Amino acid sequence: MKEQVKNVFNSAPCEIAMLLILCSMIVTTLALKADGAWTAVSVATTVVGTVVCVWLLVWAIYRLIKRIPVKEMAPKPRFVVETCSWILLLYWFYIAASWIVALIWLPFVLWAVIRSAKSAFAAE
């Protein structure tokens, strides 16, 4: 079961969904900061992010309950997508909170990216 959970969360649909969720978080935050109110852009990106998040959870739970095998994403493309996600998360911390929060998270992000790079490029 542990291996199946790992495969589900390292699969291409999950990695792309996480990237889309982070993008919607950034667009929503930027729209709210720029206008100071909920605009059509804020609402639309929040709805898109929520739909992607709910779809991801339902998809993962369905796959785990039915024990449907999921193919893990190839290491190098997963490294690229995960690194982009980490950079977007740092940027979201920067715009949503402040530069100090992003700075606090920076060592954890660097550790995760280095760890991911080691596993991605060790598979060669």
pLDDT in tens, 36-60: 888 899 999 999 999 999 999 999 9
Answer yes or no: do 59 and 8 share one domain: yes
Average pLDDT over residues 59-76: 93
Total structural domains in the chain?
2
pTM of the model: 0.89
Report how far residue 81's alpha carbon sits from residue 93's, in angstroms, rounded to the nearest whole number.
18
Q: What domain range includes position 39?
A: 1-73
Q: Are 33 and 58 in contact (CB under 8 A)?
A: no
Answer yes or no: do 120 and 86 share one domain: yes
